[in-house]
Amino acid sequence: MSEQVRAKVAPVPGIKRKRHRWTRDDTELGLLGLPTFIWYVLFSYLPMFGLIIAFKKYQIFPRQSFLANLFMSDWVGFDNFKFFINNNTFGMLLRNTLLYNLVFIVLNIVIPVALAMMINELYSKRKSKVYQTMMFFPHFLSWVVVSYFVFAFLSPDKGLMNKIVIALGGEKIMWYSEPTYWPFILVFMNLWKGVGYNMVVYLATITGIDQSLYEAAMLDGATKWQQAKYITLPLMKTILITMFILNVGKIFYSDFGLFWQVTQGVPNSLHNVASTFDTFIYSALQGSTPIGRTAAASLFQSVCCCATILLANFIVSKIDPDSAII
């Protein structure tokens, strides 16, 4: 039987495959994709020429354009990268960036999935929509606006938290000078702002699951936990892995608004707990650090993120090829 199948599948000698001819549909699709192609070329690929700054000791010469200054500047190779990696704060920046992002990745998967499954169990669709809207609303707020909300709670003089502490018989806390509390504050604010968006993504996946599976499980006497364990979570595997890989790809980046705006510019008292690669680069640009060194730090981030997402996708492809995104 297998030989007959091979005979049918095998190409017949002397007969060439028919080539695909360009059709009107291909032209229309090409024209539809042309604006996107032009956008990416102009705003994504052409600016990548500036990566050469990371390998230059950029200098400004009198009456010369940016490109002229760039080509006339001395080539220093990897010296800018060595300065960044050998910096005294590099280890602390790497620790903060990776640890915060690992916590964010885990919590922004576990908590939104749990909330999505709970909201999906609500019988009242009206209440479900209300809860979704309430949790999704913080996603649209700017970190600048959120920072004022946080300051209203943590202000040393008139903050709500200090008023509660004093009312309970405690002493006033200088929140922006106490690094002990800020890892928890930053994690909480990240969850508060992002859990609604992630929950909606997972809820859309859950609502797409065939309800007959749950009905059959209920007839067999399965509990809600068993339904979630053996039906919901296995069928969410693809979206969970996709979201995980995408988040791992940004593990060397940090939410600049969260770490800079909420902490009121990362004061010296919070430097060891709130500084990340992004805040370091921004502070360097605001100071007297040569632009080549800040460009090298940014390129280091990008290369590490690219390597991380490729590694994560490679591992996933070995475990479950259907769930890989590349």
The predicted-structure confidence for 19-75, as pLDDT tens digits, reads as follows 667 888 888 888 999 999 999 999 888 888 888 999 998 888 888 888 888 888 899
pLDDT, tens digit (0-9, with 9 covering 90-100), for 233-285:
999 988 998 899 889 988 999 999 999 999 999 999 999 999 999 999 999 88
| Residue 10 backbone dihedrals phi, psi, to 5 degrees | -60, 140
CA distance 284 to 203: 41
Question: Given this model, what pLDDT does residue 6 score?
Answer: 47
Question: Which stretches of 44-181 are DSSP H helices?
Answer: 66-72, 79-85, 90-120, 125-136, 143-154, 160-167
Whether 199 and 116 have beta carbons less than 8 Å apart is answered as yes
pLDDT at residue 106 in the model = 94
Q: Which pLDDT band, with edges at 50, 70 and 90, does 16 fall under?
A: low
As a whole number of angstroms, the distance between CA 207 and CA 120 comes to 7
* Residue among 271, 247, 274 at smallest CA distance from 259: 274
Q: Mean pLDDT for the chain?
A: 87
pLDDT on residue 120: 86
Eight-class DSSP state of 112: H
Structure tokens at 240: 């969970």
CB 189 within 8 A of CB 274: no
| Mean pLDDT confidence for 289-297 | 90
Query: Average pLDDT in the 135-147 region?
Result: 91
Percent of the chain with pLDDT over 90: 45
26, 35 contact by CB (below 8 A): no
Q: At what angle do helices 182-207 and 90-120 cross, to 10 degrees?
A: 40
Tell me, what's the pLDDT at 5? Answer: 42
- 119 contacts 136 by C-beta, under 8 angstroms: no
Domains of the chain as residue ranges with CATH: 18-75 (no CATH), 79-323 (1.10.3720.10)
- CA dihedral (122, 123, 128, 130) positive or negative: negative
Q: How far is CA 218 from CA 59, 227, 234, 277, 311, in A?
A: 72, 8, 17, 50, 40
pLDDT exceeds cutoff 50 at 161:
yes
Instruction: Categorize the per-residue pLDDT at 18 as very low, low, confident or very high, splitting at 50, 70 and 90.
Output: low
Phi-psi region of 169 (alpha: psi -120 to 50; beta: other; left: phi over 0): left
Reply yes or no on whether the pLDDT at 9 is more than 50: no
CA pair distance 266, 278, nearest whole angstrom: 12
Q: Band the pLDDT of 12: cuts 50, 70, 90.
A: low
Range list of β-strands (E), the chain = 56-57, 74-75
